[in-house]
Structure 1
Amino acid sequence: MAKAIRMTRTGGPEVLEYVDVEVGEPGPGEARVRQHAIGLNFIDVYFRTGLYPMPLPSGLGQEGAGVVEAVGEGVTHVQPGDRVAYAGRPNGAYSELRIMQADILVKLPDAIDFETGAAMMLQGLTVQYLFNGTYEVKPGQTILFHAAAGGVGLIACQWARALGVNLIGTVGSREKAELAKAAGAAHVINYNDEDIVARVLDITNGEKVPVVYDSVGKDTFTRSLDCLQPRGLMVSFGNSSGAVPPFSLGELASRGSLYITRPSLAAYVATRPELEARAADLFGMVQSGKVKIDIRQRFPLADAAQAHIALEARRTTGSTILLP
């Protein structure tokens, strides 16, 4: 038996139940992992509320790090005793022990501890594919990145600085502005005090930016489009303020033939070689010291509901982990 978070219905944080679950032996293609740390991400909220549908009852969570206890038939890339980390579906990371598909596991370098491994995989791989897959940023470019003081945002600020990219980050408070600036943002816009579009025009001398990375959704979508150069790319990769409402494609034409994409990590690590290459790039950035994973909140696994409350209230900065 192991402790885990389970939910039988969608809704608020109160639907998260801390219960005993039975964990058996891994089947073909599976591994049993004893988890040492678990990552908390906004996508967990989307599943909990039902914005992203999933079969119920269900576990929750898509990111963790721990040690392989056993593997099923056909699994050769990891073995019992290996330190591993992962990010991706299916849900179920909120657990002391879990049976999972082994194909999403990657070996965690000895120089990276379990807490860092759990906090970095989903967010770090997201930045990796955003900057190297969805749109390849180049030294000297100026880009716009919303929620720059969040877990993904702080990694993006550091990664951009390492690449010589001028990142304009948006935040909602003076404290968060200081965090983003310290992490490497070239410019920071506090959207509660400043007009995002006007500030972007000012910073870029009226040229705007070639790409906007927007994980906020409804509250920033139109302003993000207004910050783009003709033929610029709008990367909408999250909905922390709510889903983007339907809009006319003519909105893209009227702003200068804009492009838009709604990427997800799964499409960028769809094959084993892709996953290993992106993970190796992420591990390299962390081990070099160019990207540091800033874990600012730790909650016991039993307090997952409290962690969700803090996350949704935007009281968190950097990365948040759950500890079994």
Structure 2
Amino acid sequence: MAKTAIIEKAGGPEEFKLVDRDVGEPGPGELRIRHEAVGLNFIDVYQRTGLYPLELPQALGMEAAGVVEAVGAGVTHLKPGDRAAYAAMPPGAYAEARVMPAAQVCPVPDGISMETAAAMMLKGMTVEYLFHRTTPLSKGNTVLFHAAAGGVGLIACQWARSEGITLIGTAGTDEKCQLALDHGATHCINYRTQDFAAKVRELTDGQGVDVVMDAVGADTFEGSLNSLKPLGMLISFGNASGPVPPFNIGILGGKGSLKVTRPTLFTHIADHEACQAMAQHLFDKVQSGEVSIRIDQRFALDDVAEAHRALEARKTTGSTILLP
């Protein structure tokens, strides 16, 4: 049996229930993993509220790290006793242990702790695909990154610095802006006190940026488009302020033949080999010291509702983990 946080209907953090579930044995292509740490991400909020509908009841959580206890037929890249981590479908990481598909579970190098692994898989592989698999980016390019002091943002700041990319961040307080700067952002704009699109134009001598990476959604969409140079790309990869409303695609032409894409991590990691390569790239960045993973909040699994309230209230910085 394993303690597991589930929801039976969409709603607020109060919908979480802690139940004991039978874990069972892995079938072909599956493994059983006992978690030592679980990552918290905004996609968990989207699923809990129903923005991303799930078949209920459902355990939540997309990311965790632990020790493999058993593997099913056909699983060759991991064995019992291996340290492993994942960010993968289906949800179910808010648990002491689970059985799940093995293809997107990755071996963790000895130099990376379980807490660090749990805090970085979803966020770190998201940064990997943003910088390497969405549109060409290279040394000398400039990107605008919203929520630069969050878990994904602090990794992105360091990733950009490591590759010679100028990153302009946004954040909601001066303290959060300083945190982004400390982690490698070239500039950071307090969007509560400044018009970020106007400031971006000022910082880029009126040109705009090559790429905007935007997980905020509705509140920043128009300003993000207005921050791009001609032929620039808006990568909309989240909806923290709500989904982007429908818009007239013709405005992209009028603003300079802009491009907009809405990728997901799960498309990129659907292929086993691609997933393992992305994870290895992330591990290499961390082990080299180019990227460090900042864990600013730790909650017991029992306190998952409190963790969600803190995340939604934007009271968190860096990564947040649950400890089973």
What TM-score comes out, normalization by structure 1 length?
0.99
Question: How big is the shift at 1:54?
Answer: 1.0
Q: Which amino acid letter does the alignment assign opposite residue 257 of structure 1?
A: S
Per the alignment, in what secondary structure is the counterpart of residue 140 of structure 2?
Answer: coil
In 2, Cα distance between the equivalents of 1:197 and 1:57?
42
Question: How big is the shift at 1:318?
Answer: 0.3
In 2, Cα distance between the equivalents of 1:156 and 1:135?
15
Unaligned runs of 5+ in 2: none
CA contact (8 A) 2:141 2:165 kept: yes
1:114 aligns with 2:114: yes
CA contact (8 A) 2:104 2:276 kept: no
Match for residue 124 of structure 1? 124
In 2, Cα distance between the equivalents of 1:114 and 1:239?
28
In 1, Cα distance between the equivalents of 2:273 and 2:168?
32
Match for residue 71 of structure 1? 71
Q: Which amino acid letter does the alignment assign opposite residue 300 of structure 2?
A: P
- In terms of mean alpha carbon deviation, does 69-78 or 297-306 score higher? 69-78
In 1, Cα distance between the equivalents of 2:198 and 2:226?
10
Match for residue 211 of structure 2? 211
Please give the root-mean-square deviation of Cα atoms over the aligned residues, in Å: 0.7
In 1, Cα distance between the equivalents of 2:119 and 2:172?
22
Q: Which amino acid letter does the alignment assign opposite residue 206 of structure 1?
A: G
Question: How big is the shift at 1:140?
Answer: 1.4
Question: How big is the shift at 1:212?
Answer: 0.4
Match for residue 25 of structure 1? 25
Question: How big is the shift at 1:88?
Answer: 1.3
In 2, Cα distance between the equivalents of 1:137 and 1:183?
20
1:6 aligns with 2:6: yes
Deviations 1:169-221 (A, max 9, x none): 00000110110000000000000111111110110000101110000000000
Match for residue 293 of structure 1? 293
Match for residue 89 of structure 1? 89
- In terms of mean alpha carbon deviation, does 233-242 or 267-276 score higher? 267-276
Per the alignment, in what secondary structure is the counterpart of residue 59 of structure 2?
Answer: coil
CA contact (8 A) 2:104 2:270 kept: no
Q: Which amino acid letter does the alignment assign opposite residue 128 of structure 1?
A: E
Match for residue 98 of structure 1? 98
Match for residue 243 of structure 1? 243
CA contact (8 A) 2:68 2:80 kept: yes
Match for residue 37 of structure 1? 37
- In terms of mean alpha carbon deviation, does 152-161 or 129-138 score higher? 129-138
CA contact (8 A) 2:170 2:191 kept: yes
Question: How big is the shift at 1:136?
Answer: 2.7
CA contact (8 A) 2:234 2:259 kept: yes
Q: Which amino acid letter does the alignment assign opposite residue 205 of structure 2?
A: N
Unaligned runs of 5+ in 1: none
In 2, Cα distance between the equivalents of 1:190 and 1:88?
33
Per the alignment, in what secondary structure is the counterpart of residue 194 of structure 2?
Answer: coil
- In terms of mean alpha carbon deviation, does 269-278 or 11-20 score higher? 269-278
Match for residue 137 of structure 1? 137
Match for residue 320 of structure 1? 320
Match for residue 224 of structure 1? 224
Q: Which amino acid letter does the alignment assign opposite residue 92 of structure 1?
A: G
Q: Which amino acid letter does the alignment assign opposite residue 116 of structure 1?
A: T
In 2, Cα distance between the equivalents of 1:278 and 1:82?
19
1:187 aligns with 2:191: no
Q: Which amino acid letter does the alignment assign opposite residue 111 of structure 2?
A: A
Question: How big is the shift at 1:65?
Answer: 0.3
In 1, Cα distance between the equivalents of 2:272 and 2:24?
26
Per the alignment, in what secondary structure is the counterpart of residue 80 of structure 1?
Answer: coil
Match for residue 154 of structure 1? 154
Report the number of matched residues.
324
Question: How big is the shift at 1:262?
Answer: 0.1
Match for residue 169 of structure 1? 169
Deviations 1:290-315 (A, max 9, x none): 00000000000010000000000000
Q: Which amino acid letter does the alignment assign opposite residue 121 of structure 2?
A: M
Q: Which amino acid letter does the alignment assign opposite residue 269 of structure 1?
A: I
In 2, Cα distance between the equivalents of 1:81 and 1:138?
39
Identity %: 59
CA contact (8 A) 2:211 2:235 kept: yes
In 2, Cα distance between the equivalents of 1:195 and 1:102?
46
Question: How big is the shift at 1:270?
Answer: 2.1
Deviations 1:38-77 (A, max 9, x none): 0000000000000001111100000000000011111111
Q: Which amino acid letter does the alignment assign opposite residue 82 of structure 1?
A: D
Per the alignment, in what secondary structure is the counterpart of residue 164 of structure 1?
Answer: coil
In 1, Cα distance between the equivalents of 2:25 and 2:196?
53
In 1, Cα distance between the equivalents of 2:136 and 2:288?
21
In 1, Cα distance between the equivalents of 2:58 and 2:209?
41
In 2, Cα distance between the equivalents of 1:286 and 1:88?
20
1:259 aligns with 2:259: yes
Question: How big is the shift at 1:272?
Answer: 1.5
What TM-score comes out, normalization by structure 2 length?
0.99
